[in-house]
Amino acid sequence: MKVLIADTLLPSAAQQLREAGCEVTESPALTDQDLPAALAQTGAQVLVVRSTRVPAEAFAGDDLALVVRAGAGVNTIDVQAASAAGVYVSNCPGRNSLAVAELAIGLLIALDRRIPQASADLRAGRWRKGEYSAASGLAGRTLGIFGAGRIGMAVAERARALGMRVVMWNRDDGLRAAIAQAGFELETEPLRLAARADAVTLHLAETDETRGIAGAAFFEALGRDALFINTSRSGLVDEAALADAVSHHGVRAALDVFASEPAGKTGDVGSPLLDLPGVIATPHIGASTLQAQEAVADEVVRIVRTFASSGEVPNVCNVTARSPASHLLIVRHLNRVGVLSHVFSALRVARINVQETENIVFDGGLACIARIAISAAPDPEVLRAIRAGSDAVLNLSLVPLGV
C-alpha cells in the first residue's frame, strides 16, 4: 500500500509503516496547492496530514482511498468532497488531549500571574514587582469549561487540583452523566456559564452550532477582568468581539489559534489581537508535545495497518451512522459462485439500490447468510424470481428498517 505523509511526523511512524510492507513517501513541506499533483505522482492510496489542508481537488484522482488526520479535528479536510469521492477520513481522537489540557492550564496561570509580561519587563531591565504582585490567584475562583470531551475533562481535573470551582457546558446532553460522575457542575446555557465564570476555556469542535459561540453576547456576559482561553478552533471566536472585550472591558485572553494563522508550518501572521497588551499567544502548539506526537504517530500506524490488512478504518469520520436503506433483505444460501450476482441482478432489474451488504459464512464453508440493505421493498414477484432463479437460494426474508 502506498502512503504519502504530507506533514512532519515522528520518523518512527514511517519506519513502522515500511516494516508493515507499505511504500512510504515523506513530503512534509507540501502545501494544499501541492497535494493534488503529489497524490497523482505517487499514486498514494493513503494520505497522512497534520496541519496541511486537504482541498476538494485532492480527491479528483482514483487512487486515494483514505485520509488520516494525525490529530483530533478534521476541519482542515474537505470531508464533503472526500465522502462524494468515496474516500475514508479518519483521525486520532484523544491522543493529544493531555498536551492541549496542559497548555490550557499553563495559559490560565500565565494570564492570572501575567508571566509573559513580567518576564519581558525583567529582560528589558525593568523591575516592576509591585505591579506584578497584584494577581488575583486561581484557588476558589470559577472556571467555565466549554466542552466536556477528553480535553475538557482533563482541564477540569487539573483545575480542580488548583482549587478551582469547575462548571462545564457541553453542546449535547450525552456527557451529562459523565460530568456528574466526575464531580463537576453542569450549566445548560452558554451565556449563563460565561456570566458565572472568572475564567473561561474553550474545548469544542467547530460545528454549525458552536461556530462563533464566543461572540458579542458571550463577551458581554463575561465579567470585567475575566480570563479567556482558546486552544481549540479559531472559528469558535468572533475575534472583533474579543478585541473589544480586551480593549474596553479588561478581559485578558490567551490564544493558541487564530483565524489568520498560516496554513503551513511557518509564515507570517498579522492578527490585530496580537497588538493588544491584554493578549498572550502561542503558535498553535497545543497538541505538540513529544508525548502527544508519539501517541499520535502510533495511532496513525494502527489506522493504516488495519486498513491495509482488513479494509476496515478505525476512527472513521465520514461513514453515515444511519443507513439510508429502508429494508433489509436476508438471503440464506449455499456458498456457490454467482448466487449473490443473481440476487443483485434481480434487484437491479427492479431498480432497487443496494446500500450496504454483508455475507456471513458458516463453519465448514457450505452455507452463508447475506444481509443486504436496500433502498426499497421488492415486490413479491421480485422475491419469487430471486427464490426460483437459483437452487442455491435456501430462504428469503424482508425486514423493514427504522420501524
Question: Which residues does the annotation mark as catalytic?
Answer: 233, 261, 284
- With a CB cutoff of 8 Å and minimum separation 6, the contacts of 287 are 71, 72, 96, 99, 100, 296
What's the Cα-to-Cα distance from 390 to each of 85, 331, 352, rounded to whole Å?
35, 12, 19
CA 257 centroid distance within chain: 16
Pull the grid cell for residue 178. 459523565
Q: CA 367 to CA 310: how far, in whole Å? A: 23
**58 burial type by CB count under 10 A (0-12 exposed, 13-18 middle, 19+ buried):** buried
Interacting residues of 343 by C-beta distance below 8 A, sequence separation 6+: 329, 331, 370, 372, 386, 393
The owner of cell 469521492 is 85
* Of the candidates 349, 382, 304, 389, the residue with the CA atom closest to the CA atom of residue 69: 304
Contact 1, 46 (CB under 8 A): yes
The string of DSSP codes covering 180-244 is HHTT-EE-S-HHHHHHH-SEEEE-----TTTTT-BSHHHHHHSPTT-EEEE-S-GGGB-HHHHHH
CA 44 – CA 42 distance, rounded (Å): 5
DSSP assigned state of 173: G
Cα-based angle 202, 208, 213 (whole degrees, multiple of 5): 35
Amino acid at 229: I
CA 330 to chain CA mean position, Å = 35
* CA–CA separation, 119 and 332 (whole Å): 74
Task: Report the sign of the C-alpha dihedral through residues 155, 157, 162, 164, in that order.
Answer: positive
